Amino acid sequence: MNAAPLTDFSRLCVHTITTKPWPLAEAVKHYAAAGVKGITVWRQALEGLDPAAAGRMIREQGLTVVSLCRGGFFTAATAAGRREAVSDNLRCIELAAAVGAPHIVLVCGAVPGQPLAESRRQIAEGIAAIAPAAAAAGVRLAIEPLHPIYAADRSAINTISQARAICRQIASPWVGLALDVYHIWWDDALEQEIAACGREKSLFAFHVCDWKLTMLDPLNDRGLMGEGCIPLRQIRGWVEAAGFAGFHEVEIFSNLYWAGDQHAFLARIQEAYLGSV
């Protein structure tokens, strides 16, 4: 059953990458002025800034830091590479704690040519290695299953089912999932998988955008909600039925929208949010 239409922006979160041309302070100011209540901060938006001060600045504008994007990329051909990935993720956890993000999103990684089974083993090992630090810092780790189109080089975790298996293996309340409709909408078991995340208390985050029929770029041509074929309201209904009550995060990588006026884009995001999510 479809969710009821949304009527306000109290649960709307925008990812800084969505309005990439805006530096963090600009994004915060404009989101706040538009009535957006949540922000997911990408690491590159924090470069050169003091993260604790950035977090205070965000909260002072009335915004909630929903998440830090992103950690992960645990796979590497060498043990040294994998150790470096763990170190980087430990720094990411510290950064999340400093900025005040309750969780970090993990894009898990894949090494072109490396067997997927080996990448999957390395990913589980990497997450297990950082889970104690995450728990100690009070930062949750949200595994984001990525669309199979990215299996070769971005993430060998391509379904909710796979991500849940890692969660069961690690068995920490600090490890769960970030569900992005772009990556999971095609899954024929989607409703049941989302319900399972609810039962397992592992549904940490919900990202929205749309899947366009004609994609000009495999990575940076995501659609605004309503521009594509994802049944957003149905999926939100399943997510809410699973007990999720967090923010709806708008994460759009788009060469097209990044090239345009960001104020106009933010207005379109808000319109699309009410009309299609």
Q: Which residues in this chain contact a copy of itself in the complex, by CB under 8 A?
A: 112-113, 115-117, 120, 147-149, 151-153, 158-159, 161-162, 185-188, 211, 213, 215, 218, 228-229, 231, 234
CA 89/CA 20 separation, integer angstroms: 23
Count of other CB atoms within 10 angstroms of residue 145: 26
Minimum CB–partner distance for residue 28 and a copy of itself (Å) = 35
Q: Which is nearer to a copy of itself, 120 or 207 (CB)?
A: 120
Q: Which is nearer to a copy of itself, 40 or 162 (CB)?
A: 162
Minimum CB–partner distance for residue 156 and a copy of itself (Å) = 8
The answer to whether 124 and 166 have CB atoms below 8 angstroms apart is yes
Helix (H) or strand (E) holding 196: helix 190-199
Q: Which is nearer to a copy of itself, 62 or 115 (CB)?
A: 115
Minimum CB–partner distance for residue 35 and a copy of itself (Å) = 30
What is the sign of the dihedral through the CA atoms of 258, 264, 267 and 271?
A: negative
**Is residue 97 exposed (0-12), middle (13-18) or buried (19+ Cβ within 10 Å)?**
buried
Q: Which is nearer to a copy of itself, 19 or 162 (CB)?
A: 162
Q: Which is nearer to a copy of itself, 110 or 133 (CB)?
A: 110
Q: Which is nearer to a copy of itself, 94 or 187 (CB)?
A: 187
CA distances from 30 to 61, 263, 273 (A): 10, 8, 17
**Is residue 172 exposed (0-12), middle (13-18) or buried (19+ Cβ within 10 Å)?**
middle
Minimum CB–partner distance for residue 182 and a copy of itself (Å) = 11
**Is residue 140 exposed (0-12), middle (13-18) or buried (19+ Cβ within 10 Å)?**
buried
Minimum CB–partner distance for residue 1 and a copy of itself (Å) = 13
Minimum CB–partner distance for residue 112 and a copy of itself (Å) = 5
